[in-house]
Amino acid sequence: AKKQEKQAASKFPKMSLAGELVGNIPTMALLPAKGLAGAAKIGGAFGAVSKITGVNLGGGKYLSTEEGGYMADLKGRDEKRKKRAAGLKTKEGEKEKQELNAAEDAIQALSLESSHELEQLNKKIESARKNASDLNSRDTTDSNKVATREAAISAARAMADTDPAKQNTLASAMAMDVNDPAKVAAKKAANDKLATLKEFKDKIKKATGDVNRVSELEAEAERAEAAALAAITAGASNASELENAAAVAKAALASAKHGGGRSMDQLEDKIIPDLQHKVKEVGEKRIRAFANDIENSFAWPWNKAARRESAHAIRMGVKPKEEKTDVHTPGAEFGRDLAAAALAEAFIGGGRPPEHPPHPPHP
Tell me, what DSSP letter sits at residue 357? -
CB-based burial of residue 80 (10 Å sphere; 0-12 exposed, 13-18 middle, 19+ buried)?
middle
- Host H or E run for residue 111: helix 95-113
pLDDT in tens, the chain (363 residues): 555 555 544 544 444 333 333 333 444 444 444 445 555 555 555 555 555 555 555 444 444 555 557 778 888 899 999 999 999 999 999 999 999 999 999 999 999 999 999 999 999 999 999 999 999 999 999 999 999 999 999 999 999 988 999 999 999 999 999 999 999 999 999 999 999 999 999 999 999 999 999 999 999 999 999 999 999 999 999 998 999 999 999 999 999 999 999 999 999 999 999 999 999 999 999 999 999 999 998 888 878 899 999 999 999 999 888 766 555 555 545 555 555 545 444 444 444 444 444 444 454
Asked whether residue 296 is domain-assigned, the answer is: yes
Instruction: Note the pLDDT of residue 218.
Output: 95
Query: Could you give the CA distance from residue 14 to residue 27 in angstroms, rounded to a whole number?
Result: 12
Asked whether residue 77 is domain-assigned, the answer is: yes
Instruction: Note the pLDDT of residue 70.
Output: 73
How far is the CA of 45 from the CAs of 33, 39, 48, 89, 340, in angstroms? Answer: 17, 10, 5, 41, 11
Q: How many CA atoms lie within 13 A of 356 on its CB side?
A: 12
Number of domains in the chain: 1
Instruction: Note the pLDDT of residue 194.
Output: 95
Asked whether residue 61 is domain-assigned, the answer is: yes
Whether the CB-CB separation of 353 and 302 falls below 8 Å is answered with yes
Asked whether residue 39 is domain-assigned, the answer is: yes
Query: Could you give the CA distance from residue 80 to residue 313 in angstroms, rounded to a whole number?
Result: 12
Asked whether residue 145 is domain-assigned, the answer is: no
| Domain with 85 in it | 2-89+283-348
Query: Could you give the CA distance from residue 288 to residue 314 in angstroms, rounded to a whole number?
Result: 8
CB-based burial of residue 89 (10 Å sphere; 0-12 exposed, 13-18 middle, 19+ buried)?
middle
User: Cα 104 to the chain's mean position, in Å?
Assistant: 18
Region of residue 158 (left: phi > 0; alpha: psi -120 to 50; beta: else): alpha
Asked whether residue 341 is domain-assigned, the answer is: yes
Print burial letters for 313-352: b (CB count within 10 Å at least 16), e (below 16).
Answer: bbbeeeebeeeeeeeeeeeeeeebbebbbebbeebbeeeb
In three-state form (DSSP H/G/I as H, E/B as E, the rest C), the secondary structure along 39-108 is HHHHHHHHHHHHHHHCCCCCCCHHHCCCCCCHHHHHHHHHHHHHHHHHCCCCCCCCHHHHHHHHHHHHHH
Instruction: Note the pLDDT of residue 273.
Output: 97
pTM greater than the 0.85 cutoff: no
- 130 Cβ contact partners less than 8 Å away, ≥ 6 residues apart: none
- 154 Cβ contact partners less than 8 Å away, ≥ 6 residues apart: none
Query: What's the sign of the alpha-carbon dihedral 196, 197, 202, 208?
Result: positive
Closest CA to 205 of 118, 273, 129: 118
Nearest-5° Cα angle at 177, 174 to 181:
170
Query: Could you give the CA distance from residue 102 to residue 216 in angstroms, rounded to a whole number?
Result: 25
